[in-house]
Amino acid sequence: MAFVIADACIHEKAADCADVCPVDCIVEGDDQYFINPDLCIDCGACEAACPVAAIYYEEDLPEQQMKYRDKAFEFFKKQSF
């Protein structure tokens, strides 16, 4: 997983990130958006476009936000695309 959408997105869902994604790898969940790590090309467009600074490169994800990486992993594990 390259980029992770963290807690600032919860219930925000502005969708600016999804609008700029060149490979449509950002998917809407019940309470936030998620970045599909299998489709993401690590371009960083989503991170720059996020109006609430909710997107982190996985290696820069603060420790207290790691649960959102796990949440994204579980989200995509349950999906059938």
pLDDT tens string 24-72? 999 999 999 999 989 999 999 999 999 999 999 999 999 999 999 999 9
Which tokens belong to 34? 């998620």
The pLDDT of residue 13 is 84
75 within 8 A of 34, measured Cβ to Cβ: yes
User: Could you tell me the pTM of the whole model?
Assistant: 0.90
Residue 35's pLDDT is 96
Higher pLDDT, 71 or 1: 71
- Asked whether 36 and 25 are in contact (CB, 8 A), the reply is yes
Give the angle subtended at the CA of 42 by the CAs of 35 and 4, to the nearest 5°: 35
Which residue reads 């950002």 in tokens? 26
Q: How many domains does the chain have?
A: 1
Q: What CATH number should be reported for the domain holding residue 31? A: 3.30.70.20
State which residues form the domain around 43: 3-78
Please give the Cα distance from 14 to 50 (Å, whole number): 8
